[in-house]
Homo-oligomer: A and B are copies of this chain.
Amino acid sequence: MATDRTDEGVGMGESGRPRRATVLDVAKAAGVSSATVSRVLNANYPVAEATRTRVQKAMDELGYVVNAHARALAGATGRTVGIIVNDVTDPFYAYIARGVERQATRAGRLCLVCSTQGEPARELAFVDMLHERRADAVILVGGSYDNKGYATELAARARAMAHQDGPTLVLCGRPSLGPDVPTAVVEYDNEGGGFALTDHLLSQEHRRILFLGGPPGLSTTRGRIAGHHRALRLRGIEPDPLLQQTGAFNRRFGYERTRDLLKAGRPSFTAVFGANDHVAAGAVQAIEEAGLRIPGDLSVAGYDNVPLTRDLRPQLTTVHIPLEEMGAEAVRRVLRDPDEDSNSPAPGRTVRLGTHVVVRDSVAPPSRR
């Protein structure tokens, strides 16, 4: 394929292999200097109309394509935003990624998506690669585990990158690394959401609520549980450890654990608070298979408000998170929106987005028995 004989212009070297046109080739063809070519390329400097068209024509004829690497090397940035997620097929990440993509595009950047495929250890490697590529921002998405060593490593990266004015590290949906670590952070209120949802359940007279799923050490899980506990205690209910079954964020965990709990006899709870919507969907399936009705026999609520919540029957009560907006905000922390009021104040380094309960049909007062 590469040895196509229809050589169009640039000429091949002695080797007979086609060579890419460079600014110099264009310059020669147009009878100008490479500097002038660069100027029409970037349109950042006055160039005579006639010259410009001559250069443009030469570019077209030679099939010239700038080399982004040479360009990045010569000065500018990499014009790239990097985003690191767990799994692109999980809507939680996909919607955040979409927000990042949208906003990055507005800012004239391309979006490098890295997936750790569930291995947090790969995060650091990706951070390094993005640093090597001189990305403008490295956005870390989703909760983190409470691991001192890891946090130190990450903080060191953040410092090194800031120090060399490399990429800015942005924490998106993950707690800050501390006030002295140079990062931007986009948070949403897990504690508040956990509180609000639990309060909703309590207001429907539920007193025995099963908190189900979420990796136990993950900041996200911990936040949601913290809010859950606060709401409980506010009504004088001491959290029962047996009603707190953490594990994972997936459907299977929700299904299996609920099934097992239901198999053990009459459930000791009247409502399930799924740590996220997938877990809740699993619980719904197990409940359905056990021949119980939702919300008649058991109430179920989720968290995240992904589209799945509307495909379930009954539709799932959940907590809405502005996922796409979070992604966009992450980029805005670092890159100013070009078509925004240009003398508006520079964005702060950290922002906290609100969440709210979305009431649908999967929660009702428990039946009296």
The interface of chain A, by Cβ under 8 A from chain B, is 1-2, 4, 6-8, 18-20, 63, 65-70, 72-73, 78, 80, 87-89, 91, 94-95, 97-98, 101-102, 105, 110-115, 117, 128-129, 131-134, 159-160, 162-166, 168, 182, 281, 308, 311-313
Contact = CB atoms under 8 A, between A and B. Distances in A.
A119 B327 CA distance: 21
B132 A163 contact: no
Contacts of A98: 87-89, 115
B66 A69 contact: no
Contact of A112 (B66, B110, B159): B110
Given A2-B165, A114-B111, A129-B110, A94 B102 contact: no
A18 B163 contact: yes
Contacts of A88: 88, 94, 97-98, 101, 113
Given A101-B115, A113-B111, A65 B1 contact: no
Copies in the complex: 2
Contact of A311 (B8, B115, B168, B281): B281
A2 B166 CA distance: 9
Nearest to A19: B164
Contacts of A105: 115
A1 B182 CA distance: 6
A7, A66, A89 interface centre (most CB from chain B within 10 Å): A89
B8 A68 contact: no
A89 B87 CA distance: 12
A88 to B, nearest CB: 5
Nearest to A5: B163
Nearest to A94: B89
B97 A164 contact: no
A102 B97 CA distance: 17
Contact of A168 (B1, B70, B101, B162): B1
A252 to B, nearest CB: 12
Contacts of A4: 159, 162-163, 182
Contact of A131 (B2, B65, B78, B111): B65
Query: Which 3 pairs show the lowest CB-CB distances between chains A and B?
Result: A2-B165, A69-B72, A1-B182
A7 B162 CA distance: 12
B101 A68 contact: no
A69, A78, A166 interface centre (most CB from chain B within 10 Å): A69
